[in-house]
Chains A and B, each alone.
Chain A
Amino acid sequence: DSGVTQTPKHLITATGQRVTLRCSPRSGDLSVYWYQQSLDQGLQFLIQYYNGEERAKGNILERFSAQQFPDLHSELNLSSLELGDSALYFCASSPSFRMSNYGYTFGSGTRLTVV
C-alpha cells in the first residue's frame, strides 16, 4: 500500500457520459498529480494541484477537469467520454510542489473502460 488511495478501481461507462475519479494523497502530501496511461500513449501527465491550487498543466483535454479540495483529496472529472478515453488513470502525490528526494508516490490507478 503506497498510501495514495484511488477510487473506484474499475469503471465501465458509455460514450458521452461523465465520470469522476477520486484520489486521496498520502498523509502529509500537499501535491496531487494526475496521469493517463493508455496502451499506445504511455504515461501522460495531465495536471498537478498543490494545496488546492492548480500548479501545472500537461496534456489534459478540455473535456477533462480536476480540482483539489480543502482536505487535499482530488477529483478528476471526465466528460463527453469517447472510446479513446479508455485508459488507466493514476494519481500521484508528493510533499510539496517540487519533486521530493523520493520522487512521487503513485496510487494503484482507476481503470476506465468506455463502451
Chain B
Amino acid sequence: LAKTTQPISMDSYEGQEVNITCSHNNIATNDYITWYQQFPSQGPRFIIQGYKTKVTNEVASLFIPADRKSSTLSLPRVSLSDTAVYYCLVGVLNNAGNMLTFGGGTRLMVKP
C-alpha cells in the first residue's frame, strides 16, 4: 500500500471551505484514493473515493491531479459538526489481500 502523508491538524471557521491535501508519491497504477471521516469514539465513515480528476458527492469533492501523487478533499461550507479526523487511504480495490491501513489522519477543528 502506498504511504500517505497528511497534515496533523487544521482549523477552520463555520461556513468556510476546507481543503485537506494528502500526499501519496508512491501511488501505483491500480490504486484508488479513499477518504474516511471519524468522530470521537465512533467508527470511521466512508466519505468519497476516486481514481483521477474530480469526484463529487453530496458530502465532499475529491480533486486528483494528473500525476495522482496527491489528492485534495474539499468540504464546502463546513459546520461545527464537521469537526472530526479525516483519513486518506490509498490502495487497490481488487487486491485479494487488501487491508486498509489508516495513517494518522488530519484532525479538523471547526470553530464558530
User: Which residues of chain A have a CB within 8 Å of any CB of chain B?
Assistant: 2, 4, 33, 35, 42-43, 45, 48, 55-56, 58, 88, 90, 92, 97-109, 111
Contact = CB atoms under 8 A, between A and B. Distances in A.
8 contacts: A33-B99, A42-B103, A43-B44, A56-B97, A102-B46, A103-B46, A103-B49, A106-B43
Contacts of B97: 55-56
Contact of A99 (B34, B41, B45, B87): B34
Interface residues of B, number: 26
Nearest to B102: A43
Nearest to A105: B46
A98 B36 contact: no
A92 B43 contact: yes
A45 B100 CA distance: 7
Contact of B46 (A35, A90, A104, A107): A104
A109 B38 CA distance: 12
Contact of B95 (A58, A90, A98): A98
Interface in B33-87: 34, 36, 41-46, 49, 87
B96 A98 contact: yes
Given A43-B102, A98-B94, 4 more contacts: A90-B43, A105-B46, A106-B44, A109-B41
